[in-house]
Amino acid sequence: MTPPVLNVLFLCTHNSARSILAEATLNHIGGGRFKAWSAGSSPRNNQQPNPLGLKALQAVGIDTTGLRSKSWDEFAGASAPQMDLIITVCDNAAGEVCPIWPGHPATAHWGYADPSETQGSDAQKLEAFRQTLIAIRRRLELLINLPPEKLAQQRIQQSARDLSGS
């Protein structure tokens, strides 16, 4: 029997860097067992994914087609896909009051430094995105390789939180 697809939402403040990296990476490596989205608690007007983040994804062969910055409000309504797991990837979003999510999904916080705040040359800034992508991918690989019983609805909360210390 094929296990159900797990819907995962990655949250950050502006939905331009870390959450976008996580969304694209999980969709790339999830093997059809996961469907990922990302959103921000307060994306700026006309917010777009950070070009350096897109470049880092493309450099490792991850498709960036269709990636866009969006508000978490898109995922809080009755017509939104029901999430199984919501992961905050920045400390600001982790501390904010989140909407009440339909279905009461499991939640976890996986904090990463914001690569878009890196100072220096363009090469140094791109390297910061590359390092963040590597860290996110490492943790996502642990998630996708969990045995099915660790991903069952009643266990996913603890499993995702256990990975935050990895």
Write the pLDDT tens digit of every residue in 93-117: 555 556 666 777 888 899 999 999 9
Quick check: pTM over 0.85? yes
Give residue 24's pLDDT band: very low, low, confident or very high (50, 70, 90).
very high
- What does the pLDDT read at residue 93? 52
The closest of 6, 3, 4 to 159, measured between CA atoms, is: 6
Residue 17: burial class (beta carbons within 10 Å; 0-12, 13-18, 19+): buried
- What does the pLDDT read at residue 100? 65
Mean pLDDT of 48-59: 97
- Under 8 Å between Cβ of 18 and 96: no
CA 131 to chain centroid = 15
What φ, ψ does residue 90 adopt, rounded to 5°?
-135, 150
- What does the pLDDT read at residue 103? 75
Give residue 4's pLDDT band: very low, low, confident or very high (50, 70, 90).
confident
Mean pLDDT of 7-20: 93
- What does the pLDDT read at residue 159? 77
CA–CA gap between residue 139 and residue 64 (Å, rounded):
20
Digit-coded pLDDT (tens) for 58-95: 999 999 999 999 998 888 877 889 999 999 998 765 55
